[in-house]
Structure 1
Amino acid sequence: MKKLLQIWFLLLFLSCYVYSQVTVTINTLQERKPISPYIYGVNQDLSNVNATIRRMGGNRMTGYNWENNYSNAGSDWYHSSDDYIPWYLGIPESQRRIPGIALMWFHNQSLQQGAKSIITLQMAGYVAKDGNGTVSEAETAPSARWCEVKFKKNGPLNLSPDLNDNYVYMDECVNLLINTYGLSTSTSGIFGYILDNEPGLWPYTHPRIHPSIPTCVELIQKSTTLATVIKDLDPNALVIGYEPYGFMSFLKFQDAPDWEQVKSSQHRWFIDYYLQKFKEESDRQGRRLLDVLSIHWYPEAQSSSGIRITSESDVDRDISIARVQAPRTLWDPNYKTSVKGQITNGENSWINQWFPEYLPLLPNIQQSIDTFYPGTKLAVTEFNYGGKDHISGGIALADVLGIFGKYGVYIATRWGDDGSYVAAAYNIYLNYNGVGGKFGDTSVKAETSNVADVPVYASIEGNNDNKLHIIVINRNYDNNINVTFQITAQTNYQSAEVWGFDSTSAQIIKRSPVSNISNNTFTYTIPKFSVYHFVLSGTQATNNPPTKPQKPQGPTYGYRYSTYTFTTSATDPDGDMIQYVFDWGDGNISTSTLFYSGATGYAQHFYILPGTYTIKVKAVDTKFAESDWSEPFTIYISSEIMIYKPKYVVYDGETSTTNFSSGGGWAAPSGSTIKEVTTEYYSYNHSIELSLTWDNWWGGAGYNWAGWWKQDKILNLEGFESIEFWIKIVSLPTNAKIQFQLKDSTNTLSNAVDIMPYLGDNYIGVWKKVEISLDEFSGIDFSKVWEVQIGVTGVQTGSAVIYIDDIAFVYKTSQQLPNYRLTVNVSPSGAGSVVLEPSGGVYVAGTTVTLTAQANIGYVFNGWSGDLSGSQNPATILMNSNKTVTANFVQQSTTTQTYTLTVYVFPQAAGSVTLSPAGGRYQGGTQVRVVAVANEGYVFDHWEGDLVGNETEKTVIMDSNKTVIAVFVSSSLPQLPQIDVSLTNNEIISGIVNITVSITTSVVNIEKVLLYIDNVCISTDTLSPYSFELNTTKYSDGQHTVRVEVYDEYGRVIVKEIIVEINNTVPPYLLKPTELKNTIVLSPNGDGINDEIVFSTDIEEFKIYNLKGKLIERVEGKFDIKSLKKGVYIYIAKLKNGEVIKGNIIIEK
């Protein structure tokens, strides 16, 4: 056995060595084919991504009524008919009843972005007639809550439809869009129309519209009829269908009741039938009716611990590796199991286990197209690989986009929210250099010697290979890889520029160039978990240093320990990104992050000692060329330390955005704007820009923050002592003044109070802080509710540009902050409960409380009312007054829905499963008894899928479609291995702990050993001796469960759990009254004696706040310094003799 392990280790070592050297072969003369520009599309817009095509689709569009723009949410949201679509698009309420406005608003956005639009038409039968909220089961269509959909009007097509005829016509909708934008062949026309959305799920997503299971015949009849209507009006518009949600809809149209009757021996799956029927009708009419076959693809691949890769938040090692490999299921014939019912290779999914003959996916679909309707294009109109803000998500998406281009997909539109690595993956193709650089439009042959670790995609521009684009991905989690590029081309390449992103940042950065290309061959090291874009040309690249940066800008006066921001900018002649090196004049030098050429760069610094300091900066590009030092900037640091006080933030550019509106009693003339910008700011990269224009009629202009409708930004002023903000005036008419006011929002919004002298032109060109004591001004009733407003007065006509940042009210710290009560109710009584975090119900002013509604069995949460609205759960509320909140619940009804229970046996001949009641399809809420029965030679081992455990008899509650897998093992298997773990029950551990797992067996091979802590897998080992490193400092002190799982070659799992006590506690820091002073500096030292603060008996009360006024929670009477970031905090202490002391605590780590 030992020799066997030695040989295995040697093979593994050699394998790793080979994998660190990969060869990529490119031939620009072979396999040339166009890359569709429409594979870089979206459903939801992405920031900083210029998508080429936008889809208006999804569940909401099935019940959308173009005549009034109402839609129905279906089971996604209580079957609500409402204004969601125009609200989501940002359409003003006054325009929401304009026929087709949602479609036109969406398409106008596409035109502004230079993108094509594909629009969903309705085919399920009915659409929302009103916006009156939830549609009950009794109101299922047909009823007064719905309008019937007709594909063809058979009469004049009106641009102003009849809203009272109870019908909605699809041809009238298409005609309106053609009349507005022209035919699809025009530059502004609608590119294509989609035949509804996910029809196989209509009875589940839209049971109020289409409660019955759609049949194959019904889908074909509706689809071909609607396609005919579209082609009659716009012959060149794309018809796109059938939008199946996933694999079971590809296979059997979600077990359609007539599938077994209509399919023939020719049909491998429903896709074949759909294509064949469309071709038959097209041939009958003598024209093509289906241009694009569209599918949805949300991968079923899972990590070894059973987490699906589509999760956006799960990004541990196991799931990250599964996620980056998952795109191979689209194209790689070697990435699937070789034994049906058993996963021997490929992704960990039920599709790979039970339906491997349909993998890889794209070639199988293309085979169906070529057989049953040649010339049909392919679209993937919804897809998502998860990990939107993690490098694994960026790698998977970049790989998928490369696959779509290489394998001829025509349209692809991702479904999902914005994410930093999502943008990176798109822009590595669409804007790799920040100035519009794109991957080529002609795919050429590109192969890799290691598909698992290094996928590669190559392209040229048109038919000219003078410029060659190569995107290469290193999806190896652990190792950098040396890639040798061997290129055959008409061009003799001399150099390459390189851009890429990796696990350290989602920003695409220019990397070290290639200048040593010889005979079209070069080698480059690709970092682990990264995506690189190479651009090869036939000329030698040169590099020029950046220009000398502008003189740094920032405050000229400051305080010790206060952090200040300084800005500068420079340009790079080659367009390289730039880092700024700041010399702070106090012996410290720091380097900024990378910024685009010409963009404003910044860095932050604080000074410990008083004095005058000279700051200078230089720029360094990504090829390490340096500029000269800038002109110096001087700042004076006072010997004082700024005393920060708890604040209530109105606006700071970080915690609040667009919390402002026009109006409220002040003039906001046409042409005046208020918006959030990133080009000017005092802190946090944002500020508010007021661009005001007025004439004699107005005599001035202004805006108010919050407005009466934004209740969390207007407040009772009791407990505040001052208001502060930063202001920078760009332009102001002569004799004009800036006026700052508080406006009474209690009732009529009629009373405004000036709270400061007017500001004049001494604020032009620089950021300055303004502080005003509220006690100095009369006319303020602190018990009323106020909002902030600002404007210009003093001249009858003119214009001004003003920037405002960091508006805040400062709490009085000479007295105890007020407490407010949060009252929570549940309706109806007994339907659920609400958890508060922090708990208690009474809170210090400024505390943010998180409320989580938890429904009892038989109920679902239906939204908040009272001082909290909406349906977000959990939700937060700011305690600036007494508040009352009600959590509303509704009874859950599942009895009208039916669900399918699918059963698999593994291995197939090992046994069977009986169901009671039998049948496999059940009404919602049915309890099904499931019994595993082993055949001779086997014993039942455990359940997988929607059941867990090893009992032979289980019960399944049918509240959704369920899949269960019964796993059997041979009854003649060897004895289970024995395991021992180097931890004992109730052992006290701390710091870094090495854990070893000993396994006693002579005949069984071990596949892997997993280590869990508190049910979270933290490490995997596949080679003996099995050892792990546990860093206990990542976990709280107290009891934790350590679990070891050992997997043998027969798929059996041996589990051992140990309870351990983690204790990293050290003696606390005892704070006495004699040590209370203006500033307390705490520097936790090596033995940790200052890691906690406790208090002597002379101190009655002690509170710590961060700089935004948030109270730092105390745990068991102690403050844990380890949990506090380095910086400045506020304390307020009350002694037993009644004395109140306030000051700062500075944490130095």
Structure 2
Amino acid sequence: DMSNRAADYFFQNISAANATPGPESDEFVDQDRRTGTKTLMTMPLIGWTPNNIDRACAFSIAKYGPQQQVEQWNPDCGNGVRTDGTRITGNDPRDTSLAIGPAFVQAWIEHMIGKYGTAATGGVLFYNLDNEPMLWSDTHRDVHLEPLSYDELRDRTIEYAAAIKEADPSAQTLGPAEWGWTGYFWSALDWEEGGDWWNHPQDRLAHGNIPLVEWYLQQLRAYEQQTGTRLLDYLDLHIYPQGSGIFSANAGDNNTQALRLRSTRQLWDPTYVDESWINEPVQLIPRMKEWVADNYPGTKLAIGEYSWGAMGHISGALAQADVLGIFGREGMDLATLWGPPEATQPGAFAFRMYLNYDGAGSTFGETSVRASSADQEKLAIYAAQRSSDDSLTLMIINKSTTSLTSTVSITGLTEAAPAQVYRYSAANLSAIAPQPEQAVSPTGFSALFPPSSITLVVIPAEGLELPEKLYLPMTRR
């Protein structure tokens, strides 16, 4: 049971120290099943998998000469960059890897079906169509040196996704799992030439000057129209905020923390100009919706990787709580956080505020109710009705460093009833604290929200007649 660490660590094979006999991927699925988590398994499209040679290295110093960096525990393992700074090319991929095709993927899925059943009967449901393929020529240059093109992405997607659907027609696929902004619009072949490549992107221009994601959706829609088989269930894109210091384990200084909290607007706000090299509105979720509506209706939305960083700091918790609220309000179907927080970190409490705020399994609602703030950047609000008892749940996030008093107006409340209140804040990073009940009138209530705080208000169902509701399922990950 072997994995290759690619550019993350010297393109080296590392064997797994499994606790039980069998593939490491089975341990992954077993753990998910113990915690009631849906598994998202990545299937390789790149055409290679690690061989069984432990500590095999793609760029042997004995074979390819001196290199800039050497792995400290394996002095024959280099980083693939010569001492003069040029990259080594022409290496033999078979030093570390075996060539594979769709049959490899099918055999893997058949193994999982044999152990867990099909997706329809409780087995593995989600399959990623590889990971960030436009970066292969950098992250996996030992086996895929050539930059990926529009056509190769389409061809590999069709070849391998068809194999997945043949092995388990009930499985759900996600793609293209692109890394970020440039990967949404251009291919690796476009930016290969460097310079001001965006002014004359060779690959995109050869495909009608259509942005990559739109062209990708068009091609897969055409395949379904020709064959009757849908190969792509979710449009999957990754997003990491590009502003300086945001995506980091460190909270950063006050300016960085404020930028982290502002930058969540790139997920939805057409008026927010991204404060990074992107320097234009990202508005990712509305953009994804538009791409799907125009090019492949019926495709669901996924953000397969994201992180606003600082999971060990209150600013990371506030950003994470804000992001979860945005996902629900905007109708994101699936999202997975890269690098989950430790159980005691503030970032974990952001999830608990939605999924287990009282320690007894009580949750935020799953049927979205329209909610808006006069200043969403400072005091964000999200609302949903809970099906188990019809209570109205409000998540109110004070992203500022000062206390804010606000009137919360509610339409459709015909009777006054006291609300339960729970809060997580910088005042106590180790627990979600129950608060005194909040008096509520038929028109709402007024309350003070402490600085850097997440407040959950639970209004009982009596007297609620809420308009403009949208069911938005929440999946535990």
TM-score range (shorter-chain normalised) is 0.7 to 0.9
1:498 to 421, 427, 439: 421
1: CA distance, partners of 2:382 / 2:95: 55
Contact conserved, 1:243 with 1:381, CA < 8 A, in 2?
yes
Q: Say yes or no: does 1:440 pair with 2:365.
A: yes
Contact conserved, 2:247 with 2:308, CA < 8 A, in 1?
yes
Secondary structure of the corresponding residue to residue 371 of structure 2? strand
User: 1:1025 — aligned with what?
Assistant: none
Deviations for 1:954-985, whole angstroms, at most 9, x for unmatched residues?
xxxxxxxxxxxxxxxxxxxxxxxxxxxxxxxx
1:213 to 147, 151, 156: 147
Instruction: Please state how far the C-alpha of 1:473 moved relative to its aligned partner.
Output: 0.7
User: 2:8 — aligned with what?
Assistant: 76
Counterpart residue identity of residue 120, structure 1: T
Contact conserved, 1:424 with 1:501, CA < 8 A, in 2?
yes
User: 1:183 — aligned with what?
Assistant: 118
Secondary structure of the corresponding residue to residue 455 of structure 1? strand
2: CA distance, partners of 1:488 / 1:505: 33
Contact conserved, 1:300 with 1:349, CA < 8 A, in 2?
yes
2: CA distance, partners of 1:491 / 1:537: 12
2: CA distance, partners of 1:236 / 1:495: 46
Q: How does 1:286-435 map to 2 (within 5 A)?
A: 286-302=228-244, 308-336=245-273, 347-351=274-278, 353=279, 356=280, 359-419=282-342, 420-435=345-360
Deviations for 1:579-638, whole angstroms, at most 9, x for unmatched residues?
xxxxxxxxxxxxxxxxxxxxxxxxxxxxxxxxxxxxxxxxxxxxxxxxxxxxxxxxxxxx
Counterpart residue identity of residue 302, structure 2: A
User: 2:218 — aligned with what?
Assistant: 276
Secondary structure of the corresponding residue to residue 290 of structure 1? coil
Q: How does 1:885-900 map to 2 (within 5 A)?
A: none
1: CA distance, partners of 2:91 / 2:267: 40
User: 1:132 — aligned with what?
Assistant: 55
Q: Say yes or no: does 1:118 pair with 2:45.
A: no
2: CA distance, partners of 1:348 / 1:146: 41
Contact conserved, 1:499 with 1:508, CA < 8 A, in 2?
yes
Identify if the C-alpha distance between structure 1 residues 415 and 324 changes in structure 2 by more than 3 Å, giving closer, same or farther. Answer: same
1: CA distance, partners of 2:102 / 2:416: 57
Contact conserved, 1:124 with 1:210, CA < 8 A, in 2?
yes
Q: How does 1:579-658 map to 2 (within 5 A)?
A: none
Secondary structure of the corresponding residue to residue 133 of structure 1? coil
Give aligned-pair identity as a percent.
Answer: 29
Contact conserved, 2:58 with 2:95, CA < 8 A, in 1?
no
Q: Say yes or no: does 1:260 pair with 2:204.
A: yes
User: 2:74 — aligned with what?
Assistant: none
User: 2:75 — aligned with what?
Assistant: none
Q: What do you get for the CA RMSD once the two structures are aligned? A: 1.9
Contact conserved, 1:126 with 1:141, CA < 8 A, in 2?
no
Deviations for 1:371-393, whole angstroms, at most 9, x for unmatched residues?
00111111111111111111111
The alignment's TM-score, normalised by the length of structure 1, stands at 0.36
1: CA distance, partners of 2:208 / 2:364: 43
2: CA distance, partners of 1:518 / 1:415: 41
Instruction: Please state how far the C-alpha of 1:255 moved relative to its aligned partner.
Output: 4.5
More strand by share: 1
Instruction: Please state how far the C-alpha of 1:133 moved relative to its aligned partner.
Output: 3.0
**Ranges in structure 1 where 5+ consecutive residues have no aligned partner:** 1-68, 153-168, 303-307, 337-346, 541-1149
2: CA distance, partners of 1:316 / 1:512: 34
Counterpart residue identity of residue 203, structure 2: W
2:400 to 451, 455, 476: 476
User: 2:105 — aligned with what?
Assistant: 170
Q: Say yes or no: does 1:511 pair with 2:435.
A: yes
2: CA distance, partners of 1:431 / 1:510: 13
Contact conserved, 2:392 with 2:461, CA < 8 A, in 1?
no
Deviations for 1:166-188, whole angstroms, at most 9, x for unmatched residues?
xxx1111111111111110113x
Deviations for 1:774-824, whole angstroms, at most 9, x for unmatched residues?
xxxxxxxxxxxxxxxxxxxxxxxxxxxxxxxxxxxxxxxxxxxxxxxxxxx
Identify if the C-alpha distance between structure 1 residues 493 and 279 changes in structure 2 by more than 3 Å, giving closer, same or farther. Answer: farther
Identify if the C-alpha distance between structure 1 residues 442 and 502 changes in structure 2 by more than 3 Å, giving closer, same or farther. Answer: same
Instruction: Please state how far the C-alpha of 1:539 moved relative to its aligned partner.
Output: 6.1
Identify if the C-alpha distance between structure 1 residues 127 and 484 changes in structure 2 by more than 3 Å, giving closer, same or farther. Answer: same
Instruction: Please state how far the C-alpha of 1:364 moved relative to its aligned partner.
Output: 1.2
2: CA distance, partners of 1:493 / 1:458: 18
Secondary structure of the corresponding residue to residue 436 of structure 1? coil
Counterpart residue identity of residue 263, structure 1: H
Identify if the C-alpha distance between structure 1 residues 121 and 518 changes in structure 2 by more than 3 Å, giving closer, same or farther. Answer: same
Q: Say yes or no: does 1:108 pair with 2:30.
A: yes
Q: Which runs of 4+ in 1 moved over 4 A?
A: none
Counterpart residue identity of residue 323, structure 1: R
2: CA distance, partners of 1:131 / 1:283: 45
Counterpart residue identity of residue 264, structure 1: G
Q: Which has the higher contact order (CA 8 A, sep 6+)?
A: 2
Deviations for 1:551-590, whole angstroms, at most 9, x for unmatched residues?
xxxxxxxxxxxxxxxxxxxxxxxxxxxxxxxxxxxxxxxx
Deviations for 1:229-282, whole angstroms, at most 9, x for unmatched residues?
1111211210111111111111212344652344325x2x21101111111112
Identify if the C-alpha distance between structure 1 residues 255 and 375 changes in structure 2 by more than 3 Å, giving closer, same or farther. Answer: same
Counterpart residue identity of residue 324, structure 1: L
More helix by share: 2
Counterpart residue identity of residue 13, structure 2: S
Contact conserved, 2:419 with 2:457, CA < 8 A, in 1?
yes
Counterpart residue identity of residue 329, structure 1: Q
2:138 to 204, 228, 250: 204
2:159 to 209, 225, 233: 225
2:100 to 107, 125, 149: 149
1: CA distance, partners of 2:219 / 2:414: 48
1: CA distance, partners of 2:47 / 2:312: 39
1: CA distance, partners of 2:373 / 2:42: 40
1: CA distance, partners of 2:34 / 2:48: 32
Counterpart residue identity of residue 160, structure 2: L
1: CA distance, partners of 2:350 / 2:440: 27
**Ranges in structure 2 where 5+ consecutive residues have no aligned partner:** 65-89, 193-201, 464-477
Counterpart residue identity of residue 171, structure 1: Q
2: CA distance, partners of 1:438 / 1:252: 40
Q: Say yes or no: does 1:521 pair with 2:444.
A: yes
